[in-house]
């Protein structure tokens, strides 16, 4: 291994977990594939260890191996895993059952998927307690309520009876933490515990995990793709690349003095204050400096006025009362997802729309894109009122070509049965008739524009990587030379190094083709890099708007301040 | 329809290599999964029997020969002869065509009707969904075989009506499957993207959603094929549908049933085995078909 400079000062306490020379193989159609190779990790009692890496680096596989929950195709080919004197590799099912839950516990990425959807959360905690004989049936309920209390859930007696779908994502993750910690395990493995959560929720959840584990002198492994998060909460960081550990260092050292080139690349690619778009790209790639942006002509391309979207509330009158003439409750006021907002996008400008989940930013972008009908309000695009046309008919309107969108999830937004070329060509085919050769040429031109190698054009989406799929999505949006492109968190599903490339690409394209962007995101760092002006939304309303610098450096609204503070900052 | 033909034209080049990939993929699936390979071989055998049946059998399936009535299986009559001296082997082989035709026609019919109704219900929701859903519920409320009997009895004893009846009783299966699958994909990113490209709703249904739910529908098709054969044979068995002396597995079992007590087991046994193998074959084929059709399994 390249870096073991810190092994001397890393372990003062005895190691609770020792992973030595671990190699894991997966049997696939093309023979066996090594997911991780010769991985060494040691974890001291009471230590918090971060495993950082991009997708496919083997960080999750490593932790699954420690819990022995690899799926059937996976096999530990070599190496040993010792957990406080127990050989995990050789342990039989009975021993493993005792280990899991009582000694080691795990928090998964998607809290909602990790909970049984049809069982009250309190009962789920009881189940774990009873399974590991931590309590008697008589006091189970009381213990479960205590467990809820410990994860700072307000009104735990009431929440005990709640079902997972009644709770927010952050709440669900707290329940999962309560479940994991119920039997007072010695080792907690958290696999991307906050990836689907908002920044403010992320901060609350991570603070809670750290506090609880510290209180109980537990050891924690935090698996994440976010260097900033790992550096904020971990004592030591292991960086993995392609199944190998490339660097192990104390987190306070790794930022000051990253030893391995991959760590340096990863750190460069992480958006941070004080770094421009080009600073994210690796040093080796010679890139032309950003062309000077053509000054915005000031011509207003998109104007949104008094936009409102209301949804009817869930019908709370039961079926029975309806049928049998029971007393009907008063009809509640409809839920306002977007509440009377207005803004402008000028030609050649990028406007950021920022907010946490549920703030109405996606609803707004869907309405502007005319995929959704607003309840009231006016959307003027290039001088024409486009909100007058129902969304259903807008698909065939000539204006459609000038408004395009890049979607959040590059995988889900491509038809799994279309090749890349066919996905890119789909918008062109709707508008005009073109010979096959001309169409192919146009596809290749677009692929060149977004940096997608031409030979990938004939592949299906599942044969492309995340970054390549993102490029196909962008090429498709550009195929019709639109005036306005809505970018709906275009890099949220991508690794940081890919994100850096895609963000640069988007900026270059904007300047070259003279488009305007409406950039929807929850990541303020990314917004700062790309946007001229920023709009911050909360519960359907605009709380702050201004130039990017103004909003991010000197926010006036309290909420914006909270958002900025919640972002984990690497200790630079 | 002119617009429809454009998209495939564009992908003609990759399609050529796509066919090769498909063949390679099929080979892989069959090699990996011997059960699928076995059912595939059986299916091919049934197909050959259905197409070439009448021209390869040793005897005329309708010619009776009272001299050779009720003979046990022998080298001359492989499956024996029935009470009129007709060769059972020839009759079983020739019957394949009729049974297959009924099964395939009814499955194609129900795939078109149920599949499209279901996709529309799932995609549009609202009243479309409610009406199609209630029609399905109404059909499901009857014992299905009794419903099929009723339909054939009311419409008349013809092959067409057997096809129609079989299609009607399978309608809810297809409608519900297609509905739930279309419903999941209604809000998928690629559907929004298709709308952004200027595709109208019917086009999205046909070109974007339908191909994506095909793998699941294939499994359903294969399963209902077996069921449709059983249903057609069942109707003939109780005297509805195909009438004697037409060779048909259901009738042959019905005719032979009376002779089992007296020891002439072969009359009912061999058509019964053919029936069982056909149902068996289609059920097993379903799994393999899904693997072949699903592009995600192709690497």
Q: Tens digit of pLDDT for each residue in B249-268?
A: 888 888 888 888 887 788 88
Edge-to-edge strands, sheet with A384-385:
A335-346, A300-311, A376-381, A384-385
Higher pLDDT, B146 or A135: B146
Cis preceding linkage at B245, omega within 30: yes
Query: pLDDT at position A291, please?
Result: 64
Query: Which two tokens mark A433?
Result: 């008739």
* pLDDT band at residue B5 under the 50/70/90 scheme: very low
Q: Nearest residue of B to residue A443 by CA position?
A: B10
DSSP B87: B
Mean pLDDT of B158-177: 91
Task: Catalogue all structural domains in chain A, each as residue range(s) with its CATH number.
Answer: 7-279 (3.40.50.300), 339-566 (3.40.50.300)
Query: Which two tokens mark A497?
Result: 């190094």
Rounded to whole angstroms, the Cα distance separating A549 from A352 reads 12
Q: Is B14's CB within 8 Å of A419's CB?
A: yes
Query: pLDDT at position A392, please?
Result: 76
Rounded to whole angstroms, the Cα distance separating A372 from A386 reads 12
Q: Is A405's CB within 8 Å of B196's CB?
A: yes
Rounded to whole angstroms, the Cα distance separating B285 from B294 reads 14
Q: With 90 as the cut, is the pLDDT of residue B175 above it?
A: yes
Domain B77-297: CATH superfamily is MetI-like (1.10.3720.10)
Q: Are B241 and B157 in contact (CB under 8 A)?
A: yes
Residues of B in contact with A363 (CB under 8 A): none
Say which residue the tokens 């046994």 belong to.
Answer: B269
Q: Is A436's CB within 8 Å of B12's CB?
A: yes
Q: Is B190's CB within 8 Å of A463's CB?
A: no
Q: Is A93 exposed, middle or buried (0-12, 13-18, 19+ CB in 10 A)?
A: exposed
Distance from CA of B298 to the nearest CA of A (A): 9
B194: nearest CB among A409, A426, A458: A426
Residues of B in contact with A414 (CB under 8 A): 189-190, 193
* pLDDT band at residue B13 under the 50/70/90 scheme: very low
- Number of cross-chain residue pairs from A and B with Cβ atoms under 8 Å apart: 99
Residues of B in contact with A369 (CB under 8 A): 196
Query: pLDDT at position A1, please?
Result: 38
Q: Is A436's CB within 8 Å of B195's CB?
A: no
Residues of B in contact with A432 (CB under 8 A): none
Query: pLDDT at position A221, please?
Result: 92
Q: With 70 as the cut, is the pLDDT of residue B14 above it?
A: no
Query: Which two tokens mark B259?
Result: 């002779």
Chain B from 17 to 46: CB within 8 A of any A CB: 17, 28
Query: pLDDT at position B11, please?
Result: 37
Q: With 80 as the cut, is the pLDDT of residue B68 above it?
A: no
Query: pLDDT at position B132, please?
Result: 92
Closest CA to A199 of A569, A571, A572, A507: A569
Q: With 50 as the cut, is the pLDDT of residue B6 above it?
A: no
A460: nearest CB among B188, B200, B295: B295
Helix, strand or coil, per DSSP, at residue A376:
strand
Rounded to whole angstroms, the Cα distance separating B42 from B44 reads 5
Q: With 80 as the cut, is the pLDDT of residue B29 above it?
A: no
Residues of A in contact with B6 (CB under 8 A): 429, 433
Helix, strand or coil, per DSSP, at residue A18:
strand
Rounded to whole angstroms, the Cα distance separating A272 from A529 reads 9
Q: Is A430's CB within 8 Å of B195's CB?
A: no
- Alpha helices by DSSP H, listed for chain B, are 2-10, 12-32, 34-56, 88-124, 126-141, 144-155, 159-185, 189-196, 201-204, 210-237, 249-260, 266-293
Is A432 part of the contact surface with chain B (CB cutoff 8 Å)?
no
Q: Nearest residue of B to residue A460 by CA position?
A: B295
Q: Is B193's CB within 8 Å of A414's CB?
A: yes
ipTM attached to this prediction? 0.71
Query: pLDDT at position A3, please?
Result: 40
Rounded to whole angstroms, the Cα distance separating A251 from A102 reads 29
Query: pLDDT at position A294, please?
Result: 59
Q: Are A490 and A408 in contact (CB under 8 A)?
A: yes
C-alpha radius of gyration, chain B, whole number: 23
B9: nearest CB among A408, A436, A476: A436
Query: pLDDT at position B18, please?
Result: 63
Spans of chain A below 70 pLDDT: 1-13, 29-30, 283-297, 314-332, 431, 569-572
Query: pLDDT at position B179, please?
Result: 92
DSSP A414: S
* pLDDT band at residue B167 under the 50/70/90 scheme: very high
State the best of B18, B28, B190, B200 to mutate against chain A, taking most chain A CBs within 10 Å.
Answer: B190
Q: Are B295 and A416 in contact (CB under 8 A)?
A: yes
DSSP A316: -
Rounded to whole angstroms, the Cα distance separating A458 from A366 reads 30
Cβ-count burial A410-445 (b if 16+ within 10 Å, e if not): bbbbbbbbbbbbbbbbbbbbbeeebeeeebbebbee
Q: With 90 as the cut, is the pLDDT of residue B134 above it?
A: yes
């Amino acid at each position: 291994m390249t870096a073991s400079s810190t092994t001397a000062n890393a372990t003062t306490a005895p190691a609770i977990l020792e992973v030595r020379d671990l190699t894991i193989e997966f049997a696939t159609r093309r023979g066996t594939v090594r997911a991780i190779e010769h991985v060494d990790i040691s974890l001291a009692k009471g230590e918090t260890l971060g495993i950082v890496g991009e997708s496919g680096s083997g960080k999750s596989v490593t932790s699954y191996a420690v819990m022995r929950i690899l799926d059937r195709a996976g096999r530990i080919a070599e190496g040993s895993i010792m957990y406080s004197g127990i050989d995990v590799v050789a342990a039989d099912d009975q021993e493993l059952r005792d280990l899991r839950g009582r000694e080691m516990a795990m928090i998964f990425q998607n809290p909602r998927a990790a909970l049984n959807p049809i069982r009250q959360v309190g009962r789920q905690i009881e189940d774990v307690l009873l399974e590991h004989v931590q309590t008697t049936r008589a006091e189970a309920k009381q213990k479960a309520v205590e467990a809820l209390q410990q994860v700072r859930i307000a009104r735990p007696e009431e929440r005990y009876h709640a079902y997972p779908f009644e709770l927010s994502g952050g709440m669900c993750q707290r329940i999962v933490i309560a479940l994991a910690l119920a039997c007072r395990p010695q080792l907690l493995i958290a696999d991307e515990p906050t990836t689907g959560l908002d920044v403010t929720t992320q901060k609350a959840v991570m603070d809670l995990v750290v506090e609880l584990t510290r209180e109980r002198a537990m050891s924690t492994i935090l698996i994440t793709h976010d260097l900033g998060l790992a550096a904020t909460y971990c004592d030591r960081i292991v960086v993995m690349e392609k199944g190998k550990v490339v660097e192990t260092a104390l987190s306070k050292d790794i930022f000051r003095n990253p030893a391995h080139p991959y760590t340096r690349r990863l750190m460069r690619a992480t958006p941070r204050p004080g770094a421009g778009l080009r600073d994210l790209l690796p040093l080796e790639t010679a890139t032309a400096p950003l062309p000077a942006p053509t000054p915005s002509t000031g011509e207003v391309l998109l104007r949104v006025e008094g936009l409102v979207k209301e949804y009817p509330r869930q019908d709370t009158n039961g079926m029975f009362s309806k049928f049998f003439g029971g007393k009907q409750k008063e009809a509640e006021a409809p839920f306002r997802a977007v509440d009377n907002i207005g803004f402008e996008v000028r030609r050649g400008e990028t406007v950021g729309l920022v907010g946490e989940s549920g703030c109405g930013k996606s609803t707004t972008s869907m309405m502007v894109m005319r995929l959704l009908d607003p309840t009231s309000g006016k959307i003027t695009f290039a001088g024409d009122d486009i909100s007058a046309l129902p969304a259903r008919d807008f698909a065939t309107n000539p204006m459609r070509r000038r408004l395009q969108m890049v979607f959040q999830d590059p995988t889900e937004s491509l038809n799994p049965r279309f090749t890349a070329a066919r996905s890119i060509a789909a918008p062109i085919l709707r508008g005009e008739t073109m010979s096959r050769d001309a169409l192919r040429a146009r596809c290749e031109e677009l692929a060149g524009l977004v940096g997608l190698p031409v030979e990938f054009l004939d592949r299906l989406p599942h044969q492309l990587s995340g970054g390549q799929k993102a490029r196909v999505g962008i090429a498709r949006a550009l195929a019709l030379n639109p005036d306005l492109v809505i970018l709906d968190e275009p890099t949220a599903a991508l690794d940081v190094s890919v994100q850096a490339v895609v963000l640069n690409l988007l900026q270059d394209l904007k300047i070259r083709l003279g488009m305007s962007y409406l950039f929807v995101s929850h990541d303020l760092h990314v917004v700062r890099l790309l946007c001229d002006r920023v709009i911050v939304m909360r519960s359907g309303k605009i709380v702050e708007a201004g130039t990017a610098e103004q909003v991010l450096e000197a926010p006036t609204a309290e909420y914006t301040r909270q958002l900025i503070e919640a972002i984990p900052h690497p200790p630079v | 329809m002119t617009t429809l033909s454009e998209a495939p034209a564009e992908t003609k080049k990759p399609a050529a290599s796509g066919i090769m990939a498909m063949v390679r993929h099929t080979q892989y699936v069959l090699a990996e999964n011997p059960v699928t390979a076995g059912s595939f071989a059986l299916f091919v055998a049934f197909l050959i029997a259905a197409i070439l049946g009448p021209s390869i059998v040793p005897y005329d399936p309708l010619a009776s020969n009272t001299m050779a009535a009720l003979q046990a299986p022998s080298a001359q009559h492989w499956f024996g002869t029935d009470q009129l001296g007709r060769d059972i082997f020839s009759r079983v082989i020739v019957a394949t065509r009729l049974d297959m035709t009924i099964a395939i026609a009814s499955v194609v019919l129900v795939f078109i009707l149920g599949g499209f109704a279901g996709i529309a219900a799932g995609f549009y929701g609202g009243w479309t969904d409610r009406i199609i859903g209630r029609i399905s519920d109404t059909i499901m409320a009857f014992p299905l075989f009794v419903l099929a009997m009723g339909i054939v009895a009311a419409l008349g004893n013809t092959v067409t009506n057997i096809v129609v009846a079989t299609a009607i009783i399978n309608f809810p299966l297809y409608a519900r499957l297609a509905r739930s699958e279309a419903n999941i994909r209604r809000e998928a990113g690629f559907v929004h993207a298709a709308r952004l490209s200027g595709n109208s709703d019917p086009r999205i249904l046909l070109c974007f959603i339908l191909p994506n739910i095909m793998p699941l529908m294939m499994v359903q098709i294969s399963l209902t094929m077996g069921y449709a054969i059983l249903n057609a044979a069942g109707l003939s068995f109780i005297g509805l549908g195909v009438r004697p002396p037409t060779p048909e597995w259901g009738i042959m079992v019905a005719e032979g049933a009376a002779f089992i007590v007296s020891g002439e087991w072969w009359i009912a046994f061999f058509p019964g085995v053919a029936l069982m193998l056909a149902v068996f074959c289609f059920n097993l084929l379903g799994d393999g078909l899904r693997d072949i059709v699903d592009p995600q399994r192709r690497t």
